[in-house]
Structure 1
C-alpha cells in the first residue's frame, strides 16, 4: 500500500461526502480537496483497544459500515 503524504494545505477545505445524521456532529467522511485522500470523523480507538500496533502520528477511527458504503457510492 502506498503512503500518502499529508500536509495542512491538502486537508482544506473539508467538504462532507457522507454522514448518517440529519444534523449535528456525527461520524462523517469528508473530501479534502486532494483526490487521493479523505478525512474520517468517528470514534477514536487506541491500538491497545484494537489489539494492534498503531504508528506514532496515526489514530484508529471507528465508523459505521453503512457510512463507509455511502461514502464509496458518493465518491464513485
Structure 2
C-alpha cells in the first residue's frame, strides 16, 4: 500500500468512534517498516501510536486501535 494512502486515513476506537487521522509516519530505515503513526486528534494535538497497536479495516477505509492502542490513548489523556 502506498504511504500516500496511509496519510490522512481515519483512526477509530474499537467501538467505531472516529478519534483522528494519521498525519505522519515514522519508518525504521534498517528494517524498512513503519514503527509509529502520528495521529492528529481534533482539539488535543498529536499522539504517537505504535503501528502494531492499530489494524487496517477496509470497510471504514481507515484503522482501528487495538486494545493496547486504546490503553495508550487513555494514558495520553492524563
Taking structure 1 as the reference length, the TM-score comes to 0.29
- Larger proportion of strand: 2
Bigger Rg, structure 1 or 2? 1
Taking structure 2 as the reference length, the TM-score comes to 0.29
